[in-house]
Amino acid sequence: MSSLVALCLSAVQSVTAQERSYINPSSPGGDGSPFSGAVMTDDTLFISGMLGLEGGQVPAEAEDEARNVLDAIKATLEDAGMTMNDLVYVQIFCSDVSHYASFNEVYRTYFTQEFPARAFVGVGTLLFDARFEIQAIAVKRS
């Protein structure tokens, strides 16, 4: 009987340790889309794929689009009480990998400490004909 009580208490503690909060930044596709912009559980923030559009349109320059999407990631982190330096993993989807160097020029300016682990993945067409889509995971530093 005591082991059953211990098991139940452990399950309750596990559930309470996994409380979640949701951040839904205003972004294209946010209205009525079946996902949350970001989900915080304990000290970990999971950020859904974000785009760098301006007024629903892709900017003319790849650098501007990269800056916009990174600004959106940064704002989402700030909403969760975090910074870009809390990122532990970033995945960039790119519709044309010839933008790799120009993306990296902008990307470097967003960090003051070590860079997070990262993947830069060439893909086909992205939503709204965007060049970049970024999803990320951050862990709040103690």
Is this structure's pTM higher than 0.85?
Answer: no
How far apart CA 73 and CA 45 sit, in angstroms, is: 11
Instruction: Report pLDDT for 123.
Output: 98
| Degrees to nearest 5, angle at CA 38 with 44 and 72 | 110
Number of domains in the chain: 1
Which range of residues forms the domain containing residue 103?
Answer: 20-139
Helix axes 100-108, 62-79, angle to 10 degrees: 40
In a domain, 1, yes or no: no
Confidence check: pLDDT of 1 > 60: no
In a domain, 3, yes or no: no
In a domain, 11, yes or no: no
Instruction: Report pLDDT for 34.
Output: 84
In a domain, 5, yes or no: no
Could you tell me if 91 and 135 are in contact, meaning their C-beta atoms sit under 8 angstroms apart? yes
In a domain, 99, yes or no: yes
In a domain, 13, yes or no: no
Confidence check: pLDDT of 114 > 80: yes
Residue 119: CATH number of its domain: 3.30.1330.40
Instruction: Report pLDDT for 86.
Output: 98
In a domain, 14, yes or no: no
In a domain, 111, yes or no: yes
What's the Cα-to-Cα distance from 105 to each of 19, 52, 67, 100, 136, rounded to whole Å?
37, 16, 10, 9, 19
